[in-house]
Chains A and B, each alone.
Chain A
Amino acid sequence: MTTSIDMVLIVDLVLLTLLCLTALAIMLVRHLFAVVALTGAFSLLSAGLLVTLDAVDVAFTEAAVGAGISTVLMLGTLALTRRREARSPKLSPIGLIIIFFTGATLIYATPDMPKFGAADSPGLVHIVPSYIEGSENDIAVPNIVTAILASYRGYDTLGEVAVIFTAGMGVIILLGRRREDEYGYSEESAAFPLRSLASDDETGKDKS
């Protein structure tokens, strides 16, 4: 029994240490291509931590969205802009103090949290027992997360899908049309899409 607990502790410590190292590297590295790769690694490590917390569904999403899709999207953005961070940020003393106090407050408050997985923690006693019972007897779905997401909280999930729909539509309307179809392709419009957009506006004004 004790050995299994120690194993979990070791896995947690290794994952958290790697997570901190990745975060530091993201802060210090100036080459944005490397930063994008590191954020992917950060997401994958977070997914590993979520697995140790038995939140498999969340870990799944984090690995697929955080490490997969958003890395590709950031690389796509990088292809449109520069690959190197221009300004090296200076350490601001006020920011450092704020971060230090926020971190200290969070650590100070952590022991007051209910023990991880405790059955009498406030979040678990209100409505969760009826969900667990219901998803076993009424819905008969082994994965309680799916039962809650799709059935008990069906309204929320509908709202989430509507959010994704709206976000997708926004991107399609704003960026979806290919530049070369409309204006003719130029090297500059590819490298600086925003600048060429602005110049398009100016020429439009001149005409009117």
Chain B
Amino acid sequence: MRHHLILRVVSKMLIPFIMLFGLYVQFHGDFGPGGGFQAGVIFAAAFILYALVFGDDQARKVVPDKALILLVPLGLLIYALTGFAGILLGGKFLDYDVLSSDPTHGQHLGILVIELGVGITVAAVMISIFRAYAGRTKAIDKEDW
């Protein structure tokens, strides 16, 4: 995609800020609006924008399919294992009180970790679904734009 100079320059400038905002939403979710789900979608939007402007093949070099297929279950595993960690430390499933010596701190830790799990799974699934669609069409010709 050699044309669309403005699109390429502007999205190159925007993508780092979109990702930074995604990280902010991810880790600031307990204080402001947002959380893992929204952060995952915003993070995926950065990668989808990259794939739309620079092409699907280029995007597959940034995040290979093999990495993506590992990230999809990783988030769910992080979430579930946090729940089992509660059992192992003497509490109930998904009981964050026992994760730290101070129950409030344990709650903060638990929420942070499971939100990270949510974010990873959501971002990976959104990118995968986009790729499943985008991988089925041929790149649009110069004349068709």
Contact = CB atoms under 8 A, between A and B. Distances in A.
A68 B49 CA distance: 10
A73 interface: yes
Given A142-B31, A157-B118, A165 B72 contact: yes
B21 to A, nearest CB: 11
Instruction: Report the contact-size class of chain B (Cβ under 8 Å from the partner).
Output: 35 or more
B72 A141 contact: no
Interface string A145-159: 111011100110110
Most B C-beta atoms less than 10 A away, residue of A57, A59, A146, A168 = A168
Interface residues of A, number: 49
Contact of A142 (B30, B35, B65, B93): B30
A76 B30 contact: no
Contacts of B133: 73, 76-77, 79-80, 175
Given A164-B125, A165-B73, A143 B33 contact: yes
Interface in B107-133: 107-108, 110-111, 114-115, 117-118, 121-122, 124-126, 128-133
Given A151-B111, A164-B122, A172-B132, A69 B33 contact: no
Interface string B24-61: 01000111111101100110110010001000000000
Contacts of A168: 72, 121, 124-125, 128-129
A10 interface: no
Contact of B132 (A79, A149, A171): A171
Contacts, number: 152
A165 B30 contact: no
Contact of A151 (B96, B131, B137): B96
A141 B108 contact: yes
A172 B131 CA distance: 9
B138 interface: yes
B104 A190 contact: no
B59 to A, nearest CB: 13
Contacts of B69: 172
A69 B72 contact: no
A182 B136 CA distance: 12
B44 to A, nearest CB: 7
Contacts of B110: 150-151
Given A139-B104, A150-B35, A158-B79, 9 more contacts: A61-B37, A72-B52, A72-B130, A73-B129, A158-B83, A161-B117, A169-B72, A172-B69, A176-B65
27 contacts: A57-B34, A61-B38, A61-B41, A64-B41, A68-B41, A69-B45, A73-B130, A79-B140, A141-B31, A141-B107, A141-B111, A143-B33, A147-B30, A149-B35, A150-B110, A154-B114, A158-B79, A158-B83, A158-B94, A165-B76, A165-B125, A168-B125, A168-B129, A176-B132, A176-B135, A179-B136, A185-B138
